[in-house]
């Protein structure tokens, strides 16, 4: 029997139906010797039936519980990094020639007495650590023999106070009077009242630290190491300028140019080692602002004499450079005799000194030039230069640069130029023997107490 030939359209329809048949096998009839019939479309009933079969197969899957032996042999996952037990060192090297190596580490012994931690609250609060330390120092001077039980505490400048042995109280408040040291030579010194509350918190776990150093504890107690660091910082903080973990002194200084200088110092930190507790000491250096009259600093910064032409104001680029360098720098005035008031530079005025005016206490508008002449009997010389602005924006104060001097010991935290970096590297470059000698000198200063 001749077969009917499909047209291209019919073939396309058949292909489309075959692709929608979910890969059903071709069906044959008794007639036509296996002639393919049009595929049967998939209905909703068939899909539901297939889904039911899959569901029944999943229900027959046997999920077995892990055996007791398998669970007991599994290694428990630690809940924190402190509970990780690091693998022990299998041994020491035996190949090669042994030699002695000097290291900048000094072995230290744990103190016998327990270190007690106390919380300190000072009212009114201040963000200046220097003021906080002065308050606690005055408290120790007044009450060490009586209320403090002859203990000599160590203070971190913020909220922590530590003693070797307990104080004779759990909590106590003190009233401390402190003389303001803004003025030098004792002229018109201002008295300030503070309330200090000291409250016991906890003991430093030095026993745990000893167990760790002997290898019987897997984790190092960081709180105990921190307490020992604070104790060792007490004496250097009084003698040197602290910056982070380092301490600097002006006795070894080197000019870097641009109104900056480098100070030599040292770094110290407590480290647990295989041989025991170790004090790591190393030499360091950083940049400080030279304690110069402000006009001299500006001349070094700009590389020219801004006072040569008394009628010429600063160019805008120079003004922005000076403003950036002096922002936040502490200064003292020199036009008031023995009263050397201290201020922090907030900004640099846009107008020259001769154009600056303000409203005085009587509500009268007055120029800065007139005020200094009438109040302080001082005639301003460089009236074309801007003034340093101190105080806040609502009540700014104006100080001519010629009556201001930069205070000593202010670290320069901004980026150095290439020449200054080169000078800093030259100042810190030391031969090994010289570096060893300096580290040994520092070690005596650190541990002498």
The answer to whether the peptide bond before residue 202 is cis (omega within 30 degrees of 0) is no
pLDDT digits (tens, 9 = 90+) for 393-404: 888 899 999 999
DSSP 232-271: HHHHHHHHSEEETTEEEEEEEEEEEETTEEEEEEEEEEEE
Q: What is the pLDDT of residue 53?
A: 54
Q: What is the pLDDT of residue 94?
A: 84
- Helix 222-239 to helix 432-447 angle (10° resolution) is 100
Residues of the chain with pLDDT below 70 are 1-87, 180-189, 447-449
Q: What is the pLDDT of residue 71?
A: 41
Report helix, strand and coil shares of the chain as percent, to nearest 5.
30, 25, 40
What the block records as the tokens of 322 is 């000076």
* SS3 of residue 418 by DSSP: helix
- Helix 316-326 to helix 294-302 angle (10° resolution) is 120
Q: What is the pLDDT of residue 223?
A: 81
The C-alpha atoms of residue 153 and residue 141 are separated, in whole angstroms, by 11
What the block records as the tokens of 46 is 């068939």
Pick from 370, 431, 368, 358: nearest CA to 401: 368
Pick from 247, 250, 251: nearest CA to 281: 247
What the block records as the tokens of 393 is 């924006």
- Neighbouring C-beta atoms of residue 262, cutoff 10 Å: 24
The C-alpha atoms of residue 281 and residue 390 are separated, in whole angstroms, by 40
What the block records as the tokens of 2 is 């001749």
pLDDT digits (tens, 9 = 90+) for 229-252: 888 888 888 889 999 889 999 988
What the block records as the tokens of 430 is 């030391």
* SS3 of residue 438 by DSSP: helix
The C-alpha atoms of residue 200 and residue 293 are separated, in whole angstroms, by 47
Name residues whose C-beta falls within 8 Å of residue 283's C-beta, 6 or more positions apart in sequence.
264, 265, 266, 267, 428, 430, 435, 438, 439, 442
Query: pTM of this prediction?
Result: 0.72
Q: What is the pLDDT of residue 438?
A: 92
The C-alpha atoms of residue 218 and residue 408 are separated, in whole angstroms, by 46
Q: Domains in the chain, start-ordered, CATH in brackets?
A: 110-203 (no CATH), 294-406 (2.170.260.10)
């Amino acid at each position: 029997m001749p077969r009917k030939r499909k047209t291209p359209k019919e073939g396309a329809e058949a292909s489309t139906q075959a692709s929608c048949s979910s890969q059903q096998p071709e069906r044959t009839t008794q007639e036509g010797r296996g002639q393919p019939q049009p595929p049967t479309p998939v209905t909703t009933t068939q899909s539901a039936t297939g889904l039911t079969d899959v569901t029944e197969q999943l229900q027959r899957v046997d999920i077995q519980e892990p055996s007791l032996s398998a669970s007991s042999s599994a290694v428990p996952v630690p809940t924190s990094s402190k509970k990780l037990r690091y693998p022990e060192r299998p041994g020491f090297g035996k190949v090669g020639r042994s030699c002695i190596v000097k290291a900048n580490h000094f072995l230290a012994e744990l103190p016998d007495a327990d270190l007690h931690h106390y919380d300190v609250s000072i009212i009114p609060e201040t963000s200046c650590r220097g003021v906080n330390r002065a308050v606690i120092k005055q408290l120790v001077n007044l009450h060490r023999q009586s209320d403090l039980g002859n203990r000599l505490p160590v203070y971190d400048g913020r909220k922590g106070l530590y003693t070797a042995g307990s104080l004779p109280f759990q909590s106590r408040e003190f009233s401390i009077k402190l003389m303001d040291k803004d003025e030098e030579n004792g002229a018109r010194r201002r008295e300030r009242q503070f309330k200090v509350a000291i409250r016991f918190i906890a003991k430093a776990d030095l026993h745990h630290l000893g167990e760790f150093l002997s290898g019987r504890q897997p984790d190092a107690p960081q709180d105990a190491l921190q307490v020992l660091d604070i104790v060792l910082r007490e004496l250097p903080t009084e003698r040197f300028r602290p910056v982070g973990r380092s301490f600097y002194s002006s006795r070894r200084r080197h000019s870097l140019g641009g109104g900056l200088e480098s100070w030599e110092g040292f770094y110290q930190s407590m480290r647990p080692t295989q041989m025991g507790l170790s004090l790591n000491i190393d030499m360091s250096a950083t940049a400080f602002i030279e304690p110069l009259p402000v006009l001299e600093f500006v001349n070094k910064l700009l590389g020219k004499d801004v006072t040569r032409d008394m009628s010429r104001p600063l160019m805008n680029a120079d003004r922005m450079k000076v403003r950036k360098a002096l922002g936040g720098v502490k200064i003292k005035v020199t036009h008031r005799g023995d009263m050397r008031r201290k201020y922090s530079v907030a900004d640099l005025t846009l107008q020259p000194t001769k154009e600056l005016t303000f409203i005085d206490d009587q509500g009268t508008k007055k120029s800065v030039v007139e005020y200094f002449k009438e109040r302080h009997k001082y005639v301003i010389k460089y009236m074309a230069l801007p003034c340093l602005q101190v105080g806040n924006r609502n009540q700014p104060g104006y100080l001519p640069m010629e009556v201001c001097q930069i205070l000593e010991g202010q670290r320069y935290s901004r980026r150095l130029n290439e020449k200054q970096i080169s000078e800093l590297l030259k100042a810190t470059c030391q031969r090994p023997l010289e570096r060893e000698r300096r580290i040994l000198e520092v070690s005596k200063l650190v541990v002498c107490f």
